[in-house]
Amino acid sequence: MGEDAFILYKISFHYYCLVGTVVVIAVGLIVSYLTGFQDPETVDDRLLVSFVKKYGNSREKDTQHPSEKEMLNMKKIEKSRRNSH
């Protein structure tokens, strides 16, 4: 090819997906930076993929006090002991 060919014509077709991915991620990050990133706490759960809802529960706040957790665990242990005898 000549020297005046557009740069995309000079790369191998094997790199088209890589170049496209890098461009999309770079543009997305720049636009998100300029418009403000989304706060994960404000995302509606209906917009999330099912496995994120199931395994991505780190977004949920822990509302139980540690002493309440301990009491619930003790009750579970007592119940399992009673059921085993």
pTM higher than the cut 0.75: no
Confidence at residue 18, expressed as pLDDT on a 0 to 100 scale: 92
Dmax over CA atoms of the chain, in Å, equals 86
Q: Please answer whether residues 11 and 19 qualify as being in contact, where contact means their C-beta atoms are separated by less than 8 angstroms.
A: yes
Q: d(Cα 45, Cα 43) in Å, to the nearest integer? A: 6
Q: Looking at residue 4, what DSSP letter applies?
A: T
pLDDT in tens, 19-77: 999 999 999 999 999 999 888 778 787 888 887 777 765 545 555 666 777 778 888 88
Instruction: Specify the higher pLDDT residue, 84 or 15.
Output: 15
Confidence at residue 24, expressed as pLDDT on a 0 to 100 scale: 97
